[in-house]
Amino acid sequence: MSLYPEFTTPRLKFRQFNINDDIEPVYQLFSDPETMRFDGGELMASRDEARDLIQAFSSFQAPAVRWAVVLRENNQFLGSCGYHHIDHYNQKAELGGELIRQYWRLGFAREGLFELLRFGFERMNFNRIEAWISPENRAAIRTIKCVPFQEEGYLRQCQRWGNHFVDMKIYSLIRRDWDMFHEQIKFSEPL
């Protein structure tokens, strides 16, 4: 398998990051306080940091893989998503992603989530996919509940974001539940 095989949905394309084209939108994404409020809280301060992040995303550094998410029709950069904390022995990983704020509430997160899960279970051979979400991130919780993720616990002050500690909810989806659910996913209409 290629390190970053492209895959698509009706509206989206998942591709490897491009150092020549993606610096400005990556900077826009990771320097927005509202976007980063639930993603570690650290704001990107320069385009040099965007370049460094793209280089990190573009070199396969197990245990992580990350794609740029763009519109299929015009290659407009929307955000990023992927897997981290990949554990090949136990066939599990944690998913994550971000969208530029102007693309929120248009169904892209849900559409992308379904295809990222399909890729994880069918092509990366995961048995378990986790999502760690701030309890305050209601949009992410609504998105994750579109699929039969199970809430497994509430971890108090388990991550440090900047100068404070935050709680996280942990959700999981296992292959058995995905197999029962994925036949219902239809991409013939925008989600």
Dihedral angle computed from the Cα positions of residues 138, 93, 13 and 33, in that order, rounded to the nearest 10 degrees: 40
In what helix (H) or strand (E) does residue 77 lie, and over which residues does it extend? strand 77-87
Distance CA 146, CA 143 (A): 5
Distance CA 19, CA 3 (A): 17
Peptide bond before residue 33 is cis, with ω within 30 degrees of 0: no
Looking at the DSSP assignment, which residues form a beta bridge with residue 171? 131, 151
- Look at strands 128-133 and 92-99 and give their pairing: parallel
Distance CA 14, CA 112 (A): 9
Q: Is residue 159 within 8 Å of residue 166, measured between CB atoms? A: yes
Its CATH architecture, for the domain 7-184, is 3-Layer(aba) Sandwich (3.40)
Q: Which residue has the tokens 């370049």?
A: 51
pTM of the model: 0.90
Residue by residue, pLDDT tens for the chain (191 residues) are 456 789 999 999 999 999 999 999 999 999 999 988 888 768 999 999 999 989 888 776 657 899 999 999 999 999 999 999 999 999 999 999 999 999 999 999 999 999 999 999 999 999 999 999 999 999 999 999 999 999 999 999 999 888 889 999 999 999 999 998 877 765 434 44
